[in-house]
Structure 1
């Protein structure tokens, strides 16, 4: 080939690639749109400019079920200078991803290769949950890709909801649901208020078309201790009640009874062999003097010896593992642990039953017959006409105490071919009390003295769980770190504790302490900062968007007593502060009594949630009581 031909070919190819690149590079209009969206959504790299989701249904005669076809088409645009994201879709053994593709804006397939893996969390594999995903590179602002996904769900019972929001801002989304006349489907709407959503229902021959159009929805917010998405984001819930084929009506989940019937069919298919752990039950109960002691020995043994591993996705999210498998493997999910607890208690002669429940992560109750209603399983013990709810996943919970995440929630209790609906009792914040009494005196500009702490309820179980999860050779260091907050100014010695494995008694910790840099002297005056912990100072909620779900309702009762040094009198005390409303009560009070200053603090969070609508009130109160933290006691000679 001559030099001239090579040059000609190079120019030809260069021109070809330039034209091809031009067809995928952002247009001036794309860049302008990306810049305007970036101004509005300055925390996001990507925006979904347009999204179309389509749902249709068909009868699968081979397995006698209604299958779902779910399609998504999205235009993804980079609104930052450049971006790298993962685009993914979950599925399991009851579903199949038919299409998963990325295209340039010119409709040419992009050279990205999807990966397909089992989904895992914290290196623990879920049973059959899988994820298909691809890494996308957006080189410049305004660059876009078209994403297409088609998934087939083989049984409609597993297709429970569609959320309108996304992890990225959505500029416009259309959701179209094509419901055939032979399918009785209820569509329930949640959290539509304050969103721009337009809904139309249109008959179309043998179908009814439901169409939802939503515009300008913010990205989902990732904040710790947020309520579950069913409380916060607009979505529709599908309740497939029945379908008719050849004039025969087939009931699906028309009522809670139908939901329970399906759950029971899974339980009935289990093959429990309690004889395998019969000797362990005898060992745990032989020396027990009362029934309560027998129950506790079994319940606590499950808590302490069965490792919790979640299998919450896919079919393993609904069927408990056989009790002997959990016993022999020494691990299981909530359902396996509940079933083992039940079978062990039954061997010991008690009436124990499997119980389905949705934790406070879920907004629904059992008036809705759907698999989305519950996400957890526990064991109910019925004794002397009273129900006790046993959750083996809650390490160090005492018998008769319930974790905040299940308090007040409905339960579905097995009762042969029938079922029982009940509620977990709600416990007040005082049942989780943490009480601290500190006695100080001043020695060489240090606060020295003794501290005594008492924990009950969830404050106790939380401490015991964290402490007992520490390796044995690190426990003493961990305890000192917990008590001092790793503050080098806070020296701790002579620690005495109650039994740090006992969940049935108050947890007591006492120790001697020396606190530096909290006393300073100038001329005839001494300045004392008596407040070491400054509880909830961090909780300014400056950038917080969503409600806060506390781990539990807490009640902190703190008393600090300072012996006034000989020859000194109190010339100034920090300002007292007190607030009491329906959500919380806070008080900080100083008083002089004899030759002591008594500083009493109380923080009582009466509810497990602080609504975002109450944030402004909280910020004002927070500003006041943290201002008090900065005030000092002034002692004068």
Structure 2
């Protein structure tokens, strides 16, 4: 009887063990709602952060992810960054097939080990070990175990259970242990509506979340990092590259930056000082002086990344930049600032998060050392007018112009008095303009001969100024792609002027295209809008989840003279169109100048802003109607 009972217990225990292993490693146990539209499912992500003191932090990570298809291979995230101060204590991967059977063990020595920065970096001690794994079948489950130890405690990892679109989460857990003499601050974002558990006691903070379905990208939505659930964490007391800090707001963070990362790095050689002072001799206007200094930096330096030790946040000295004639965003900004000091122009080193796809701001209410900034520019403060912002890494950008990479966002400006949150230049709808003055002649055989003068400003300038230095061949490809709705194009002239004083790109283009019109008996039909046809219609969503976010407004104004073929006259013209709504407006009008000449006028404006998700269909319909009107045709009849 006793033996039978023991056998029964062992059988039950064995069954529980098998079930537990299946739950962890077998793809068959994934809930259906988490598999829907998913490329991968995070079965478990467990991060344990032990902040042992302001000088030591240990991070342990264990993650299990089931990859369902080829697209999910990019989401295994089996990598670890390290440098002279981040030491890898453990690194291993186990791979399981769809039944939960172990099929491969991968040790640290089997990981790829490469520089953690791109080829534009001269030197760096930052490296990454990552897994390069080719699966033999799908689905498969990968178990990643990693432990690191570092003396840099400035960067406490956030709790961020969602890492990408089309990745669902079964369970994600985050634990932070810390000593009582260190103050931990946190900011919770987008946690509403999830199965969250939270433990917050002195010395320990735990978050746990379950059953997060996939996030799908949507056109014109807020940035991914602004919609996912996340908890930002920071310590008031930390050490960065053996430099201690105690900060609790952006002002004190700015003071620490100034005293520990910037002071003493602004010295310039006497030879360079004399040269710079000679360049500005006789000039009193500080802005004119700044323009001369900025041009000198553009003409005499180049961008190349430098990231060694504290150099990840600290600029190389102005003396070093002056000597080698290169630097990264930190070094070139500090160098420009130092040269401006020589000529008596005040400027401020500025950290921000640079991103072209959306404007990501520094969180003015939550100070943290890492994760909120990734780039440096220069601020020239102005009284009673907008500040001037300088992008010091570009040899092409005009003075005072910043584009999509850094515009319209809150940034940390480091002043001698401390850190200040300021907002970079926002380009208004009317500033983001493109004007076209052109003409085209339509021949009896349907060929059009087009001449166009295009002037782009604001963000529309930012989108195009780079073409100034393209080769003739690349420009030919560029323009054929730009007017891809016209077949058989031959580009005959392409003169491009980059007017940096007025910050305008001016394009003078001539091209021919055969078979532009369509003949039906004695009639000829042709599209009246040859030069600026909208072809973009936002995607349709049956159940939109996110707000409508238009990052930047713009306005296009076109006026084109149309010469009709000799053997035809007008039979019918499209009606005048005016569309106005909260998203912008569209105006189109075609008038008769004489029996052989038409004047086409078009104005299309879109406002920036954030709107409720319920407005998305109206916005999409606006674009659909614009596309329809841009394809309106003129009917001619043979004389």
Same fold, TM-score > 0.5, yes or no: yes
2: CA distance between counterparts of 1:328 and 1:227? Answer: 43
Shift of 1:537: 0.9
2:64 to 75, 82, 90: 75
2:29 to 22, 26, 33: 33
Q: Tell me the TM-score normalized by structure 2.
A: 0.80
1: CA distance between counterparts of 2:71 and 2:561? Answer: 58
Secondary structure of 1:624 counterpart? helix
- Is 1:521 aligned to residue 519 of structure 2? yes
Contact 1:77 1:143 in 2 (8 A): yes
1: CA distance between counterparts of 2:352 and 2:139? Answer: 46
Contact 1:118 1:125 in 2 (8 A): no
Shift of 1:322: 1.2
Contact 1:588 1:601 in 2 (8 A): yes
Secondary structure of 2:131 counterpart? strand
2: CA distance between counterparts of 1:576 and 1:363? Answer: 42
Deviations 1:294-321, CA, capped at 9 Å, x for gaps: 3222213334543333457974332112
Shift of 1:413: 3.4
Contact 1:396 1:503 in 2 (8 A): no
- Is 1:118 aligned to residue 119 of structure 2? no
- State the partner residue of 1:622: 623
Alignment of 1:91-490 (within 5 A): 91-103=82-94, 110-112=105-107, 113-122=110-119, 124=121, 127-167=124-164, 168-194=167-193, 196-201=194-199, 203=201, 207-218=203-214, 228-242=223-237, 252-264=246-258, 265-270=260-265, 272-282=267-277, 284-286=279-281, 291-310=286-305, 315-359=310-354, 361-371=359-369, 372-382=371-381, 387-394=387-394, 396-444=396-444, 445-468=446-469, 470=470, 477=476, 489-490=488-489
Contact 2:467 2:475 in 1 (8 A): no
Contact 1:303 1:396 in 2 (8 A): yes
Between 501-510 and 46-55, the greater mean CA deviation after superposition:
501-510
Shift of 1:556: 1.6
1: CA distance between counterparts of 2:225 and 2:70? Answer: 33
2: CA distance between counterparts of 1:148 and 1:361? Answer: 35
Shift of 1:601: 2.5
Between 325-334 and 353-362, the greater mean CA deviation after superposition:
353-362
2: CA distance between counterparts of 1:28 and 1:350? Answer: 62
1: CA distance between counterparts of 2:428 and 2:442? Answer: 38
Deviations 1:116-163, CA, capped at 9 Å, x for gaps: 322133554673332121223443445433221122242321225231
Contact 2:499 2:505 in 1 (8 A): no
Deviations 1:178-209, CA, capped at 9 Å, x for gaps: 34433211111112234x24132254xx6344
Shift of 1:428: 1.0
Contact 1:83 1:139 in 2 (8 A): no
Unaligned stretches of 5+ in structure 2? 1-17, 239-243
Unaligned stretches of 5+ in structure 1? 1-21, 60-64, 244-249
- State the partner residue of 1:14: none
Contact 1:48 1:76 in 2 (8 A): yes
- Is 1:48 aligned to residue 42 of structure 2? yes
Deviations 1:82-104, CA, capped at 9 Å, x for gaps: 98566212334442332111235
Shift of 1:263: 0.8
- State the partner residue of 1:15: none
